[in-house]
Structure formats: structure tokens, C-alpha cells
Amino acid sequence: MGRTQAPSKPQLDASLNPTATTVGEGAMQYLCLIYQDDNKLAALSDSELDSMVGGCIAWTEDIEQSGHHVLCAGLQSVHTAVTVRNRNGKVSATDGPFAETKEHLGGFTIIRARDLNEAIAIASKLPAAMTGSVEVRPLMKPDVDLTDALDRRVAAAIRRCTGEPLASNSGHSDRLPKSEATRAR
């Protein structure tokens, strides 16, 4: 009897997945996760809430004009959330977010920045940071020199699945190309 051939590995389409594109094609991208305490938001007067939301809209317009904006979205209440798990083929869905915390993910923004310091400076101007918090994290890119061991393993798997070459250790991978660095300032 002949041996059956193992199925081929799945391939990611880099053109449809921006995290699979190389850093050389643009600035580093950072995810800004915006956490809010529902009790603090509910305690705001309508004018205070309008001021904060208006400030967030103005912030988004500012980063759009400066070339730092990629994508923004607010999220509906945690009461609409469902957490899905698949353990050994058994799927479970539970109401609400995974963690029981005071603050919940209320929205997110993806920005372009030269480096983490610039990303932090941009995120610190978001008015929602005054009542909640903003977590800033670099997006996973397969060609970036990574410091975390698990991140390196995941990036290697992305490269294997997409056929991307290994990251080069020459230069700083979280810096904008010179032409974009001028535009981003």
C-alpha cells in the first residue's frame, strides 16, 4: 500500500493580512487598546461625555492629518460580548468578556509611529486616557527583530506559512524609512 501524503500547510495571503507584510513597506504599527470603567463613564454628565467623545473624534482627525492613523473603532458594551473557547473540539460560548475586571475594552486604534516612544506620545493625547487607560502594543510582523521568545516563535510560524524570509538583523526594524519619517513628523 502507498503512503498517503500529509496535507499541505495553510498559507496566509500577505496581501489580505497587513500583519504579514514587511516593515520596510511602511511604519511600525501599534495597537492602542482603550479600556474604560463603565461606572466612571456612567457617572459623567452628558456634557462631560460629549466633551470626551468630541475630543476623541478631534484626536482621530489630528492623527489622520499627520499620517499616523490606520483604523479606529469603538466597541459596544461588554454586555453584548461573548467569549468563545475551543478545548479539545468542545466549543463553549459564555456571555461577557473573559476577565472579571473593573475596566473593559471599549475601543481600539491602530496607529503608525516611528517607534514605541512616538506611539506612547500619540496615545497619551487620546482624551479617553483621562478616564480610562490605553494599552499600546506593537503589531506582530514576521520580519521584525523581536525580544520576546514566544513572539519569535509565532513570527517564525508566520514566516513558514507565508514563505517570508527570516528577519534581517541589520538596522532598526521599528523605525520609519527616511522618506516616511519626514512625513510622520
State the virtual CA torsion across 12, 69, 141, 9 in degrees, nearest 10.
Answer: -10
pLDDT tier at 86, thresholds 50, 70, 90: confident
Q: Given this model, what pLDDT does residue 130 score?
A: 85
Segment 82-104 shows an average pLDDT of: 79
Q: Please count the other Cβ atoms lying within 10 Å of the Cβ belonging to residue 22.
A: 16
Per CATH, the architecture of 19-184 is what?
2-Layer Sandwich (3.30)
Q: Does the global pTM surpass 0.75? A: no
Tell me the per-residue pLDDT of 135-179, one tens digit each, with 9 for 90 and over: 999 888 766 778 888 888 888 887 788 776 655 443 333 333 333
pLDDT at 32 over 90: yes
Query: Which residue in 159, 180, 184, 171 sits closest to 22, CA to CA?
Result: 159
Kindly tell me if the per-residue pLDDT of 9 is higher than 70: no
Closest by Cα among 24, 20, 115, 18 to 70: 18
